[in-house]
Amino acid sequence: MPDEKNMIAKSENLPEELKKSYAEDVKSNVEGIEIKFPKIGVDHKGINFVVPTSSGGVLVNNITGIVLHHHRINYLFDNEIKKMLCFSTDSVEPTTMEGTTPQSQFCKSCPKNKYGSGKGRGKMCKNVISVHILLDNESIPFTFYVSPTSIKEYENYVSNLVAEKIPLIAVKTSFSLSRVESGGFIWAKITPKNLSMLTVDEWIIVRKLRDKFLSAMTPKEIEIEEEPEEQSSGADTPF
């Protein structure tokens, strides 16, 4: 068994002369395989982010990093048969993917994208924002979905940055979770906060990383094996 005191955890724990070799080994991981961005889940019952690792998921109340890209996604998922029925990667019109059937020519006019078409006052079609974030001390983006109950918070945050003429990619953003209870429903609300501006050198490096992964961050297909439960009251969802 290796000596635990001498085990490698992350490259930041290595001497400077070994960090380059470590980075080369990480780069070799992607040779011959298709890298998939790790997906961060939201536990609406425990009010935690679920950050994936090679040894399992880690529960945290907030995540911090740099948002490289975001885009809207609409999707209609059947939880009973575990099948994607229809989806859109721009929330304007359905995206063609084998095994799916467009429910309407345009998302805006689709009856399944109307309030009241789903459980309670919600929609059958789920509208979310896919956020790609470079977490602290990571080398590739992670992805998480901003759910309908948190979209307003996220849009307000981005709008405030625009008003201040600050690019989203030029700041370090913290996303925290808070417990919200209303009308018999309980869910985790995501709240973003601007922690600090990047230095010019950091911004240049991050922009190059964004450009490198841009096509992969705007996929033609999405993968959802099971639609996450977004309330813990046992009643209909509030959206």
Q: What tens digit of pLDDT does each residue of 112-145 get? A: 999 888 877 788 898 999 999 999 888 889 999 9
Q: Which residue, 106, 99, 132, is CA-closest to 215?
A: 132
Angle (CA) 199 136 228, round 5°:
130
How much is the pLDDT for 9? 46
pLDDT at 5 over 50: no
pLDDT at 229 over 60: no
How much is the pLDDT for 238? 37
Q: Residue 183 — pLDDT band, cuts 50, 70, 90?
A: confident
- Those residues whose C-beta lies under 8 Å from the C-beta of residue 190, and which sit 6 or more positions away, are 42, 146, 147, 150, 153, 154, 175, 176, 177
Mean pLDDT of 211-237: 62
pLDDT at 239 over 80: no
Q: Residue 6 — pLDDT band, cuts 50, 70, 90?
A: very low
Q: Residue 232 — pLDDT band, cuts 50, 70, 90?
A: very low
How much is the pLDDT for 218? 79
125: burial class by Cβ within 10 Å (0-12, 13-18, 19+)?
buried
Predicted TM-score (pTM) above 0.95: no
Mean pLDDT of the chain: 82
End-to-end C-alpha distance for the chain, whole angstroms: 51
For 91, the token pair is 């929330």
Mean pLDDT of 59-66: 94
Q: Residue 32 — pLDDT band, cuts 50, 70, 90?
A: low
3-12, 29-38, 40-49: the lowest-pLDDT one: 3-12
For 98, the token pair is 């084998």
Q: Residue 30 — pLDDT band, cuts 50, 70, 90?
A: low
